[in-house]
């Protein structure tokens, strides 16, 4: 056994434990944030700097800091912001962004409309087959996308050939696929938010002469706005990040960012600097929105898993 | 006037639906409203989820290849031939398919272990009381919120053999003597596991964190009175109490990793090395580069069945284990 005088007192133990917690937290933060930091740093570097054998961890050398503090304009010389200018001409980044915005925003709107209706029905009413529908909603999340993509591809081609209505490489084709993909998730998340609104609200609105649909649109939906925003952000991210369907069904003029950004790495050269500049432009607004609206988003995500 | 209209409407409803859909007429007005609200969502799910699954299964029994891509319905019915072909380990395709299934299992189990350990550690740390833990929680969630295509490409850049920062740091600390090939050769599957875990651990963290918050404080007080150490509290209070949430986390991470396409597709680039071709990526390459839709569909069905079987076995094991009773 450890002799008496060498045993740690409980105060010392607490302090050591506190240190351990801080150390682990620091390591985790470093691990979580370093790649994001590296993206931003790399976006300000030239190709030679990025492919150098000994990349610098800091954007500026420590010895340069006093000079920069004296003359901030020097920063513009050290940090190469050229990537942010050349990328637009070298790759159709603007088109990618616009395509992604059109696809993801429209998907979000449609999925929210359908999801609000379904989620509300799920939260407030009992009806035969409710359990089955719930299971089906969750079941859709377990299906490998490729199993759906193959028939979907054949269907799109068949529609084009027989009816003559273009489906592949169109906005409406991919938006339709994404909307349906995200509706089950949207219903499930929104159900959790509607659960938090008491049933008496609808009853009161009904007593005041609203029809059921009026009660939903005029009274309930405004109350659920934070939850709807959170679900909307989630749906937007899913649509923004999707690559499986996009790589087959949305190329050419409707290529979204998620597919287009990969073309920065060509057979012969990788334009990492430009790629990271475009990535930074795409990531910054999303991170900002998340930091602003994180409370309902985090609640919406954890709701289903913990409540069972 | 209004009441006459309503009566008329009701009569019409009784006439039509009462006769043709006896089930629907028996529903209360509230239940009918619920169905109407759900109808658009369900209709869309039928078109995109359930019909294609049936159709995909149908195609897997047909010889749909490049000749029939534009007229799949004329393709010959070949019975189980597609299945037998892709499951036969002696053919090149079959052998590679089995290999890809193996890689899928490594990918799923590996990612599960890494994300669970990271997620639990982070959740436990966040559950301590310290200043700025809200900020810390936000920052730790960022890897999951940042667009995953972007983060995968960042990791691809960092894993470059010559210029990548990861090899550079490992070399300068002295852990390795030679730059490692992360994105070619047999290491690829582990690169995939590490990267995917980075993008997914915040989700596990936040779910487990919510679970930790739900553990009644009295249990810890009781444990303190019994003189339990920190480790004992974790071992006998926290961990068992987290079991229901952990069960959900394990199931979701396993399934979502098995059917994940984005991570291997983006991280491994245009020419994915053999070792990184997990099931879904291999099916994709095979089906769309050779237009072998019938065989591709057969592989997809097999992948789906494997994922579903694992989920069901796991689910059954959970309920045999009666975790719900323990926690109450």
Overall average pLDDT of the B44-54 stretch: 82
ipTM of the complex: 0.87
CA atoms of B211 and A116, how far apart (whole Å): 27
Per-residue burial over A241-258, b if 16 or more Cβ lie within 10 Å, else e, is bbbbbbbbbbeeebbbbb
CA atoms of B98 and B41, how far apart (whole Å): 37
Q: Does B21 touch chain A (CB under 8 A)?
A: no
* Chain B residue at shortest CA distance from A43: B154
Chain B residues whose CB is inside 8 A of the A244 CB are: 261-262, 265, 284
Q: Answer yes or no: is pLDDT of A14 > 50.
A: yes
Which B residues, 150 through 189, put their C-beta within 8 Å of a C-beta on chain A? Answer: 150-151, 153-158, 162-163, 165, 168
Overall average pLDDT of the A281-304 stretch: 78
* Chain A residue at shortest CA distance from B38: A118
Interface size, chain A vs chain B, as Cβ–Cβ contacts under 8 Å = 271
Sequence ranges of the domains in chain B: 88-326
Token readout for A99 is 């395509």
Find where tokens 């001409």 sit.
Answer: A89
Overall fold of domain B88-326: MetI-like fold (1.10.3720)
Chain A contact probe: residue of B107, B148, B154 with most A CBs at under 10 A: B154
Least confident of A36-45, A222-231, A261-270, A290-299: A290-299
* Chain B residue at shortest CA distance from A265: B269
Q: Please tell me which of the candidates A32, A52, A302 has its beta carbon nearest to residue B210.
A: A302
Q: Which domains does chain A have, with CATH numbers?
A: 9-84 (no CATH), 90-307 (1.10.3720.10)
* Chain A residue at shortest CA distance from B124: A21
B90 vs chain A: nearest CA distance in angstroms?
25
**E strand or H helix at B88:** none
Contact criterion met (CB < 8 Å) for A145 and B261: yes
Note the pLDDT of residue B60.
Answer: 86
Contact criterion met (CB < 8 Å) for B293 and A150: yes
Instruction: Kindly report, residue by residue over B120-175, the tens digit of the pLDDT.
Output: 999 999 988 888 888 898 899 999 889 999 999 999 999 888 778 888 888 888 88
Listed as own residue / partner, the contacts of B96-101 with beta carbons closer than 8 Å and 24 or more positions apart are B96/B274, B96/B277, B96/B282, B97/B279, B97/B282, B97/B299, B99/B274, B99/B277, B100/B277, B100/B278, B100/B279, B100/B281, B100/B282, B100/B283, B101/B279, B101/B302, B101/B303, B101/B306
CA distances from B48 to A158, A267, A278, B45, B226 (A): 16, 35, 32, 5, 57
Nearest by Cα to A206 from A198, A197, A215? A215
Instruction: Kindly report, residue by residue over A99-128, the tens digit of the pLDDT.
Output: 999 999 999 999 999 999 999 888 888 888
Q: Does B214 touch chain A (CB under 8 A)?
A: yes
Q: Please tell me which of the candidates B41, B151, B165 has its beta carbon nearest to residue A183.
A: B41
């Amino acid at each position: 056994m450890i002799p008496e005088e060498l045993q740690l007192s409980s105060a010392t133990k607490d302090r050591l434990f506190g240190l351990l917690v801080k150390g682990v937290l620091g390591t985790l933060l470093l691990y979580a944030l370093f790649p994001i930091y590296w993206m931003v740093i790399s976006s300000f570097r030239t190709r030679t700097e990025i492919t150098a054998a000994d990349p610098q961890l800091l954007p500026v050398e420590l010895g340069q800091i006093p000079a920069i503090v004296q003359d901030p304009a020097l920063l513009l010389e050290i940090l190469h912001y050229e990537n942010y200018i050349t990328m637009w001409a070298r790759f159709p980044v603007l088109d990618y962004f616009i395509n992604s915005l059109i696809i993801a925003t429209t998907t979000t709107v449609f999925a929210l409309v359908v999801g609000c209706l379904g989620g509300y029905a799920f939260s407030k009413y009992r009806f035969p087959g409710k359990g089955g529908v719930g299971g089906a909603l969750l079941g859709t999340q377990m299906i490998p996308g490729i199993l759906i993509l193959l028939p979907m591809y054949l269907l799109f081609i068949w529609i084009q050939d027989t009816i003559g209505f273009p489906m592949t490489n169109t906005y409406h084709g991919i938006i339709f696929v994404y909307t349906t993909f995200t509706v089950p998730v949207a219903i499930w998340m929104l159900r959790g938010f509607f659960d938090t609104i008491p049933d008496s609200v609808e009853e009161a609105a009904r007593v005041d002469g609203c029809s059921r649909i009026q009660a939903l649109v005029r009274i309930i939906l405004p109350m659920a706005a934070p939850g709807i925003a959170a679900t909307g952000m989630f749906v937007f991210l899913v649509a923004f990040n999707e690559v499986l369907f996009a790589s087959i069904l949305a190329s050419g003029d409707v290529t979204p960012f998620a597919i287009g950004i990969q073309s920065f790495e060509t057979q012969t050269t990788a334009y990492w600097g430009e790629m990271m500049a475009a990535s930074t432009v795409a990531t910054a607004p999303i991170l900002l929105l998340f930091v602003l609206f994180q409370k309902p988003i985090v609640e919406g995500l954890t709701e289903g898993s913990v409540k069972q | 006037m209004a009441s006459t209209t309503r009566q008329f409407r009701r009569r019409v409803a009784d006439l039509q639906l009462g006769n043709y859909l006896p089930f629907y007429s028996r529903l209360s007005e509230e239940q009918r409203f619920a169905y109407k609200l759900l109808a658009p969502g369900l209709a869309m799910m039928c078109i995109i989820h359930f019909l294609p699954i049936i159709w995909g299964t149908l195609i897997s029994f047909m010889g749909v290849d490049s000749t029939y891509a534009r007229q799949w319905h004329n393709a010959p019915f070949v019975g189980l031939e597609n299945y037998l072909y892709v499951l036969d380990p002696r053919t090149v395709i079959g052998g590679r398919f089995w290999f890809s299934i193996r890689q899928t299992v490594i990918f799923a189990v590996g990612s599960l272990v890494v994300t669970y350990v990271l997620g639990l550690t982070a959740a436990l740390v966040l559950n301590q009381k310290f200043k700025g833990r809200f900020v810390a929680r936000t920052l730790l969630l960022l890897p999951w919120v940042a667009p995953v295509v972007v983060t995968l490409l960042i990791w691809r850049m960092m894993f470059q053999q010559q210029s990548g920062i990861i090899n550079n740091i490992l070399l300068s600390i002295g852990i390795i003597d030679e730059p490692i090939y992360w994105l070619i050769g047999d290491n690829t599957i582990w690169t995939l596991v590490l990267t995917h875990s980075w993008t997914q651990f915040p989700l596990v963290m936040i779910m487990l964190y919510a679970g930790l918050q739900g553990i009644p404080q009295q249990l810890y007080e009781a444990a303190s009175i019994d003189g339990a150490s920190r480790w004992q509290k974790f071992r006998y209070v926290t961990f068992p109490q987290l079991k229901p949430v952990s069960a959900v986390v394990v199931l979701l991470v396993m399934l979502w990793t098995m059917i994940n396409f984005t991570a291997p597709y983006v991280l491994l680039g245009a020419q994915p090395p053999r070792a990184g071709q997990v099931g879904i990526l291999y099916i994709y390459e095979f089906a769309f580069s050779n237009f072998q839709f019938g065989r591709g569909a057969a592989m997809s069905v097999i992948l789906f069945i494997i994922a579903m079987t694992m989920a069901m076995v796991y689910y059954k094991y959970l309920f045999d284990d009666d975790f719900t009773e323990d926690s109450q």
